Chains A and B, each alone.
Chain A
Amino acid sequence: MKFKVVIISFLLLLVPAGLAYADGHGGKSGTQKIERSIATAPTVAVSLCVDSGDVTVRGWDKNEVFARSSEVGRIELKRADVGNQSGAATKVLVWLADKNEGEEKSGCHDFGDVELMVPRGASLYLQTGDGTIDVGDVASIFARSETGDISIQKASRSVEAVSFSGEISVENSTGRMSMKSVSGVVNAANLRANDQNDCFQASTISGDIQLDEVDHQLVSVKTANGKIDVSGPLAHQGQYTFNTTSGDISLSLPANASFRLNARVARDRDVTSDFPLTLTIEDPVPVINHTPAPRPLHEPAPEPAPTPKEPVVVVVGPQVKEIKVKPVIVKNLYSLRRINAVHGSGDALITIASFSGTIHLKDSGNQPQ
């Protein structure tokens, strides 16, 4: 009898729990997704700004902009090309309305995740506060996020990404590139230029910058306190500028890399090279060579350190009392030295400026240049 009572009580407890579980899942699955679409030109410009929420954009073959969200009360795709309302839209504003208020606002105050499908030739203007931006397979992107990450893939014409503390990642894209972050990490991989005018720029304050297989001829990387890591072959007659104040710089280049090195570094910081560098400078530089790399042809001897004066010893009776006269060493702090060197035929030009960081030229192996 007691056993039956226990079982019945247990079943009675299970029923409300099951109902609550079903209600929760039913509510989620039953959330109404709002979808809107509008016919556009292949090179339509699309603008979207949200305060909080993730933005995901993908390119497709249709000449149509499609928007979908389940977090907002309303989505509107407004034409911004006032002069030509009859044909396909060339400018589209994605307006969101808050679920609670039900009215659109004039600023970037909307909350909610949004998915967009746009033509592959579209240009995007995306801004979010703390949400992430994920874009793929479009022509041009301007993306800005305060604290959220920005991820861009397969951009075909240009990328400009700005983040305050979020990570910026651009991969498998072509065209002109500009990435700016304050404390977030910048990752760039497999990037190419469409023409000689396309340049690559990346800058941070304290975030690290990592470049892998960036094929632009004009590359400019700057950070105040972050590290710079570059790997991959150098572009033919490429011009690379790496500027850091206190971060370290590491360049992993193929063994047959051909470059001219123009470096300005602090005198007390290490400059390490795996490559046999031909120094062409007046200023003597102690370049540290890692084995098995051969020694530089003209490695100058390091400057001799100033020898301190011998201490004066005065013996008084049985006790020995040392009176040390401190040598006067005039040390010029933060003095800089300039290194000009060549490896190979000197095809590319690498300009490095590091105020208090180290420089390391790594030989990454026998990859083709």
Chain B
Amino acid sequence: MKECLQEEVLQSYLDGELHGRRIEQVTVHLASCLTCSDLARQLEQENSVLAAALAPEFESAVPSERLRQRIDAAIGSARIDAAAGNAAPSNVHNWLSSLSDLFRFRPQRAFAYASLMVIIGFGVIMAMMRWQTSPTLPPTSVAVTVPPASNPAPTTTPLSNNPPRATFPSNGTLSSVPKYRPQRSKPVIAPALSGQNESAANHVKLLPGERSYLQTIAQLDSTINSEKNRMKPEVQAEYQRNLAFVDRTLAVARTAAKSNPNDPDATEFMFSAYQSKVDLLNTVAEARVIDK
């Protein structure tokens, strides 16, 4: 290398940006070339002067102090997580960092926190006053769901959509009372209470055997209500009147049965009242079949 080094190469050499064989070539040349060695010495002096002049600038943080703290906190938490072997999602870190930010008070935020504390304190005081004045409620009673086999079951008449005029007994005559019962095409007794009735029944303490009646009544009631538009006005008025009769009677009988749990007669009256309601609903439901 007989020619002198270019200034860019020398600058790169001084900045430590050259690698391997190139560093050796430049070092050998500087040792044998006075011109290049003088130039290199000048560049070093200039670099030292610039470094001294810009030292305050280099030592000051380029980001703001707040940002630097946040970065340091994030790096620190990342290191902690890495050390614990538990890599949490980044959104958790963000949430934690935002949460920690909430506790950095400024005047506006401090005022908001104070207002919130006052409101919460007022609510707690009101709740305590109300709790002290309210009576203690007994625990909710549990329904009896399984009626014993000895209890009377509601008797219903099967319904049908078929036109009744086409039905005859098998032998063409009636041996006793003519059993003019259209074929059953839809069930009368539901397997269980549904919806609101079920929940209502669960909140009322039922006597043994009541549930089967309630199931039958619910099913018949839904059958009648589904075709209420077909009912003649006079029949509907009479139906409502008698239904009110029966419901009133049933309420009284049920009260008596509950207040006299050891009186079989009272229980029998209650079931008789239930059966009256079933009979009423069944009669109306049968009439609806005819209207079809």
Contacts and interface: CB of A to CB of B under 8 A. Distances in A.
Interface of A: 41, 43-45, 47-49, 80-81, 90-91, 93, 106-108, 121, 123, 125, 127, 129-130, 139-142, 144, 146-147, 157-160, 162, 164-165, 175-178, 180, 182-183, 197-198, 203, 205-206, 222, 224-225, 243, 245-246, 264, 332-336, 338, 353, 355-356
Contact of A108 (B163, B178, B256, B260): B163
Interface string B136-178: 0000000000000000000000000001111111001110111
Contact of B178 (A41, A158, A356): A158
22 contacts: A41-B172, A45-B168, A47-B165, A47-B166, A49-B163, A93-B165, A107-B292, A123-B169, A123-B172, A142-B178, A164-B283, A164-B284, A182-B242, A182-B283, A205-B242, A224-B273, A245-B253, A245-B273, A334-B256, A334-B266, A335-B260, A355-B273
Contacts of B168: 45, 47, 80, 91, 125
B280 A48 contact: no
B238 interface: yes
A164 B168 CA distance: 23
A246 B178 contact: no
Nearest to A93: B165
B173 A140 contact: yes
B238 to A, nearest CB: 5
Interface residues of B, number: 47
B7 interface: no
A245 B269 contact: yes
A180 B283 contact: yes
B110 interface: no
B172 A356 contact: no
Contacts of A333: 255-256, 259
B263 interface: yes
Interface stretch (B72-80, B199-207, B244-252): B244-252
Contacts of B249: 224-225, 245-246, 355
Contacts of B176: 157-158, 175-176, 197-198
A146 B232 contact: yes
Nearest to A42: B173
A127 B172 contact: no
Given A49-B290, A245-B276, A183 B242 contact: yes
A264 B165 contact: no
A146 B268 CA distance: 30
B87 interface: no
A142 B173 CA distance: 12
Which 8 A-B pairs rank lowest in CB-CB distance, beginning with the nearest?
A140-B174, A334-B256, A142-B178, A49-B165, A90-B172, A123-B174, A224-B276, A142-B180
Contacts of A176: 176-177
B59 interface: no
Interface of B: 163-169, 172-174, 176-178, 180, 232, 234-235, 238-239, 241-242, 245-246, 249, 252-253, 255-256, 259-260, 263, 265-266, 268-269, 272-273, 276, 279-280, 283-284, 286-287, 290-292
Nearest to B292: A107
B192 to A, nearest CB: 27
A125 B286 CA distance: 15
A93 B165 CA distance: 7
B232 to A, nearest CB: 7
Contact of B246 (A43, A106, A107, A205): A205
Contact of A332 (B232, B259, B287, B291): B259
A264 B283 CA distance: 28
A141 to B, nearest CB: 7
A81 B172 CA distance: 8
Contact of A45 (B172, B266, B284, B286): B172
Contacts of A177: 177
Contacts of B280: 182, 205
Contacts of A334: 252, 255-256, 259-260, 266
Contact of B165 (A125, A147, A243, A355): A125
A164 B238 contact: yes
Contact of B173 (A123, A222, A338, A355): A123
Contact of B174 (A45, A147, A353): A45
Given A107-B292, A264-B265, A146 B287 contact: yes
Contacts of A162: 283, 286
